[in-house]
Structure 1
Amino acid sequence: MHGNAGSVEDWVRIKRSTLVLGVKKGLTSRPNGRSAHFIAPSSSNGCAMACAYCYVPRRKGYANPITLFVNTEAIGRAITRHAAAQGPLPAPDQIDDRYWVYDIGENGDLSVDALACDSVRDLVGLFRDIPNAKASFATKFVNRDLLAYAPQAKTRIRFSLMPERIARVVDVRTSPMPERIAAIDAFVGAGYEVHANFSPVILYEGWEEDWRALFRALDAGIGPAAKAQLKAEIIFLTHNAALHDVNLQWHPKAEALLWRPDIQETKRSEGGMENLRYRTGWKGRWLARFKALLAEELPYCGVRYAF
């Protein structure tokens, strides 16, 4: 399916109907230093959801269904060996106070993967037993089956949140924002560390008012236990010209929000791709305004990472 431009016409149908099975070849944990200390070898790639800004299609060509890797035991052994070689975390840092953190869902959404396989349950169990490390993954889907996985505070779930009216345009086939917020207390009660991903922050007329409303909904929707452990990542939108061209063929309405060359500039990513990000200088000012708004509305929510 890779590189088949014609499949863009069936972008969402492919996600509904296609499951790819494969063997993960590269089992290396890569340094990260932002959201996590390391990016673990992925147990999956691709997604059944269809967020218009997702970076994975940039690498996979036009079709981007779920690919599940069947050698999860080998992936687990590789993670265990890597963590053992690290020893204890030398000192608390912006990523975590006690543990090395491994992002186990870089290229997919594990809450959705868990509908199709047991690899997510296995990974949560794996980190429960690794003494010096914890798992982390971001999600836009509420799968309450994960509440039975008994993570014992060794898995961090980052619920991605954005203003609801924008999510209805760009977060295609995901759980509604009120459902994500309503799930946070249950996941904290089940033993997960639950953080918020304010991501992506998309700039448009009225964005600050919409984010204020979201922060207030979050504050009203979670209890004291969730608030006491809540931290956040803030990630401003990164877009891509090739993905823009694809999106115009299946979801042009989203591109009116995502494609803003008047306030974006081209920048080469760490992976060597040419992406569009909000302009240097201006982005710093917008980020400062976002953080000030967050501090005003959710003063108990620290910022672990902002980009």
Structure 2
Amino acid sequence: MSTKPLISPTRIYVEPAAAELPRGRAVLDRFPDAERVEVDSHWRIPELHGDEANARRWVRIKQEALVLGVKKSLSARPNGRSAHFIAPSTANGCAMACAYCYVPRRKGYSNPITVFANIEQITGYLARHVARQGPMTEPGQVDDAAWVYDIGENSDCSVDALVSDNVRDLVELFRGLPTAKASFATKHVNRDLLDWDPRGRTRVRFSLMPERTAKLLDLRTSPITERLAALDDFRAAGYEVHVNLSPVVVHDGWLEDWRELLVALGDAISPATRDQLAAEIIMLTHNAALHEVNLRWHPRAEDVLWRPDLQESKRSEGGGTNVRYRRGLKRALLDDLLGLIDQYAPYLRVRYAF
């Protein structure tokens, strides 16, 4: 197993305005030996974004580069699946390298972590947005009693917490908001979060897939066994713990692999965790451009991700063209997985599946 840290920046690209803010200075102080490169915009760094040659340096860039910027536009977008609202990002990009990740499609290729330094502005906006909603009066599939805000749409908050205190600030914000919860999905077990005392106001969704598939596709992430072992600990520390069964990737033996995972899930958790556990199921969506990039750095992944015999084109909500399992086939595949859940994890409430 590699002993290299997940992220150890040797170069930080800095917007001047970010460097002037307290959080920006704190990030720079955290990595005092890193070279600092001033940039006009975190969106426009040619040597990081938009250069296809970077596919060959994908993982190295994620480990060694960090970007420090200011979030210009603040909005909480309605969602309705994982959350009621998508909160304004406090970071984007990731130090991990999952072969199916949609984020690189939106910001160049390797897309290392960008930290937004204007955290006080973001938390102030969120507090006001929550206040405007008032109490939630009708329960739904997102939550029975609270407005849920996804705080990690474009990054992994457990990894972001290795770089700055932004995520801790968000957890502490929602700890004091009785009508709302924060929520984020993660593939990294960061046990520093266990000391944050969230008091039930942050939902952590641990992403799970069978170990065999994860070893091929979930690069630089925590092993599935480590994620399973963390579920009880995070629930005991005051988090609401859910799981994301995602992405569901179809290949020879996939159902048997999922059966083994569901058995392992049941063996790993206590009755208290089981009683509050819920799941989201997300079938694989892929993309032709990402397929081409993956062929440059991790072609073995495409043996299972790129399946023209099973997939069809799909127009995404953002206007892009992706591929997914064919409509009728997708329903049958999903029903097969739901049948396994009924048999091997009947306690697991499926919040939504698509």
**Deviations, residues 238-290 of structure 1 (Å, cap 9, x unaligned):** 00000000000000000101000110000100000100000011101111111
Q: Does 1:126 align with 2:173?
A: yes
**Deviations, residues 20-50 of structure 1 (Å, cap 9, x unaligned):** 0110111100000011000000110000000
Partner Cα separation in structure 2 for residue 240 and residue 227 of structure 1: 35
* 2:259 counterpart letter in structure 1: R
Match of 1:191 among 238, 257, 260: 238
Partner of 2:142: 95
Match of 2:80 among 13, 33, 51: 33
Percent of aligned positions with the same letter in both sequences? 64
Q: Does 1:248 align with 2:295?
A: yes
Give, in angstroms, the shift of residue 61 of structure 1.
1.1
Matched position secondary structure for 1:195: strand
2:89·2:153 contact (CA, 8 Å) conserved in 1? yes
Partner of 1:63: 110
Partner Cα separation in structure 2 for residue 131 and residue 159 of structure 1: 23
Partner Cα separation in structure 1 for residue 187 and residue 311 of structure 2: 26
Which of 1 and 2 has greater Rg? 2
Gaps of 5+ in 2: 1-47
Partner Cα separation in structure 2 for residue 51 and residue 4 of structure 1: 19
Partner of 1:82: 129
Give, in angstroms, the shift of residue 148 of structure 1.
0.5
Partner Cα separation in structure 1 for residue 166 and residue 251 of structure 2: 39
* 2:348 counterpart letter in structure 1: C
Partner of 2:307: 260
* 1:256 counterpart letter in structure 2: D
Partner Cα separation in structure 2 for residue 103 and residue 296 of structure 1: 31
Partner Cα separation in structure 2 for residue 104 and residue 226 of structure 1: 23
Partner of 2:56: 9
- TM-score, normalised via structure 2 length: 0.86
1:4·1:63 contact (CA, 8 Å) conserved in 2? no
Partner Cα separation in structure 2 for residue 292 and residue 73 of structure 1: 46
Partner Cα separation in structure 1 for residue 122 and residue 239 of structure 2: 22
Give, in angstroms, the shift of residue 305 of structure 1.
1.1
1:162·1:177 contact (CA, 8 Å) conserved in 2? yes
* 1:94 counterpart letter in structure 2: Q
* Alignment root-mean-square deviation, CA: 0.6
Matched position secondary structure for 2:233: helix
Partner Cα separation in structure 2 for residue 63 and residue 223 of structure 1: 39
Matched position secondary structure for 1:60: coil
- TM-score, normalised via structure 1 length: 0.99
**Deviations, residues 208-253 of structure 1 (Å, cap 9, x unaligned):** 1000000000100111111010000000000000000000000000
Give, in angstroms, the shift of residue 63 of structure 1.
2.5
Partner of 1:138: 185
Partner Cα separation in structure 2 for residue 79 and residue 192 of structure 1: 20
Give, in angstroms, the shift of residue 292 of structure 1.
1.2
**Deviations, residues 53-98 of structure 1 (Å, cap 9, x unaligned):** 0000000111210001001111101111111111111211000011
Partner Cα separation in structure 2 for residue 305 and residue 80 of structure 1: 27
Partner Cα separation in structure 2 for residue 24 and residue 63 of structure 1: 20
* 2:125 counterpart letter in structure 1: A
Partner of 2:37: none
Q: Report 1 or 2 for greater relative contact order, CA contacts < 8 Å, sequence distance ≥ 6.
A: 1
* 1:73 counterpart letter in structure 2: E
Aligned length: 307
Partner of 1:167: 214
